[in-house]
Chains A and B, each alone.
Chain A
């Protein structure tokens, strides 16, 4: 790794927060990843993006704990209920801590329907770290501890859907599904891309030609229509879990081509480098040269490519599920949640069902910002 660093030094650049003298020394002795980290830190938007992503990952890991209710628990007293507002002060202006008002169901004489209305006399205080609905964390640990609950009554921060299920909780569970599809899909495209690109770049010749033509071919197929056709081919009687994995594989198997091209290009350009030659003279095997000497030199590019391909996965899953070709109930994902607001009428009547859309946009935005920052940081020639 030190060898690849030498020609890339730029004299005169200063590492952040160090005096010119020590910084010069620090700069010369820094590892490649340290250099990238310093550069990444200067990208303010990318830092914000990373913080947002960290929050999303936290939600993804601990969604059962953060959500006050399970994804399928129904509240028959509050169907299509509006989001409840959080308050600190009651009607009389007295500080009460965090609370929501209770809900009573009134009979509307004009529409002849039961309408839930806010009951200003009843306060439900929000209690943190209390016991609520029992669940199994990651499907293993049995517990009933939640970040927040109300002791009697209910709290629905994002309202409820047609079955009285808590949209807030469901959105958090959906975060887990949608992001995990992204992660698994990226992993698949990583493995396939690394393998195909590696074979292509290292062996060259006939295999290289074959793989390159295959990549060109796959890239010439319009992505979304192909995804739609493949997703429509999944049998209706498959279990949701099986559909989930197949959709992930479909998404992953089409995005590997970018990575494969990158790996191939890097391998070919590096085959002729002095440090590879030196390693060969020293008697290293092919595999060792690739893994020990070449891979670290372009690992950063791979990570960047993976980050950049992440949003496409999330958008793919959301879009497919939204039009009913992807995931289905009882699996909860952002796309599945957005099915409830398929048309304007639905959004007009129950705008809160559209809240998961914000999660989609923010997460994709965060990934793009982080990806851009990382691309700049990984490129030794960018300013």
Chain B
């Protein structure tokens, strides 16, 4: 087991390193750089900028050095000083720009995952135990719909419904009147009123697939002999279900929690943009468009790192829960 974890950790670190390189290269792809865009904006507003000044500006930002030097510089900053570079549009260190937003992003993802599991697992069990009932069909149809609706459309539809029927303000996480208020009970209520929407939007497709997996594995397990034996011994039906097939069926669902996290995190930029949430999604989009490469690079790196760490966690969980994977993984 220790060896398996060690191997997986090494692979993860290697992946992270390669990813950082790819991230940097992808962001280097667009022709032109921040200096050019900045000067273009200056000229638009009527300022006279000479070619030397552009060059000087570029040199000041360090954009005139070859890409591998800048990459090495960036990486050594991250590794030695936890310095992710300088955001060119905000004129602040990237860590400062992202700070709060990153906390919000991670919190939102974790809450979403927790809620989607709490809701989806019982529904999956219900669907399997009452196969072909009206409830089962309802959840199946809802599940399909949840998977077929792209997140941004779902967000827009929910926003529309909430504005038309519940008369709440659209998007954001606070109503206008609470924007700059200190925390209070009323503000918390207002906050919760806004937060259900991103949680629902981000959680639905994951919950839909969890219901389906849970249902499928439960259907396989509930007719196994050990369940019949337990029933023959006279174990009460409710206890029987929770104790035997559910526990076996939980394995594939629980162990994929890391992948679920990765999916939610990487799907969030669009939802966050549509709902104008204060997370890193809208900032990522803006940084991409402005070629603010240290900012967009850091965010892309965070998204990738969360994905890789999520996958890593799932691999470990799978190995812990299922000895077969542990064994084959160790001999490879």
What residues make up the interface of A, taking CB atoms closer than 8 Å to B?
A: 216-217, 220-226, 228-230, 232-235, 311, 315, 318-319, 322-323, 325, 338, 341-345, 347-348, 351, 354, 357, 360-361, 364-365, 368-369
Contact = CB atoms under 8 A, between A and B. Distances in A.
A224 B26 contact: no
Contacts of A348: 160, 163-164
Interface stretch (B61-69, B94-102, B261-269): B261-269
14 contacts: A220-B15, A221-B19, A222-B265, A224-B267, A224-B269, A228-B285, A229-B300, A234-B30, A315-B150, A322-B152, A354-B156, A365-B145, A368-B148, A369-B144
Given A229-B300, A233-B30, A235-B31, A220 B144 contact: no
Interface of B: 15, 18-19, 22-23, 26-27, 29-31, 144-145, 147-153, 156-157, 159-160, 163-164, 170-171, 262, 265-267, 269-270, 273-274, 284-285, 288-289, 296, 299-300, 303-304, 306-308, 311
A224 B266 contact: yes
Given A315-B150, A368-B147, A347 B156 contact: yes
Secondary structure of the A contact surface, majority rule: helix
A361 B148 contact: yes
Given A229-B288, A235-B30, A347-B160, 7 more contacts: A225-B284, A229-B296, A233-B29, A319-B270, A325-B285, A345-B170, A357-B153
Contacts of A368: 144, 147-148
Contacts of A315: 150
B148 A344 contact: no
A224 B270 contact: yes
B218 to A, nearest CB: 16
Contacts, number: 113
Contacts of A234: 30
Secondary structure of the B contact surface, majority rule: helix
Nearest to A345: B170
A365 B148 contact: yes
B156 A344 contact: yes
Given A220-B311, A226-B26, A229-B296, A361 B145 contact: yes
Contact of B270 (A226, A323, A360): A323
B159 A228 contact: no
Contacts of B262: 222
Nearest to B159: A344
Contacts of A233: 26-27, 29-30
A220 B303 contact: no
B240 to A, nearest CB: 24
A220 B315 CA distance: 13
Nearest to B160: A347
B152 A319 contact: yes
Contacts of A360: 150, 153
A364 B307 contact: no
Contacts of B159: 344, 347
B15 A232 contact: no
A323 B284 contact: no
Contacts of B153: 338, 357, 360-361
Nearest to A232: B288
A220 B307 contact: yes
Nearest to B281: A225
A360 B156 CA distance: 14
Nearest to A318: B150
Most A CB contacts (10 A, CB to CB) among B150, B170, B299, B307 go to B150
A-B residue pairs, 10 tightest by C-beta: A222-B266, A233-B29, A232-B288, A365-B148, A364-B148, A233-B30, A344-B170, A225-B303, A222-B303, A344-B159
Contacts of B170: 343-345
A220 B301 CA distance: 12
Nearest to B287: A232
Contacts of A325: 285, 288
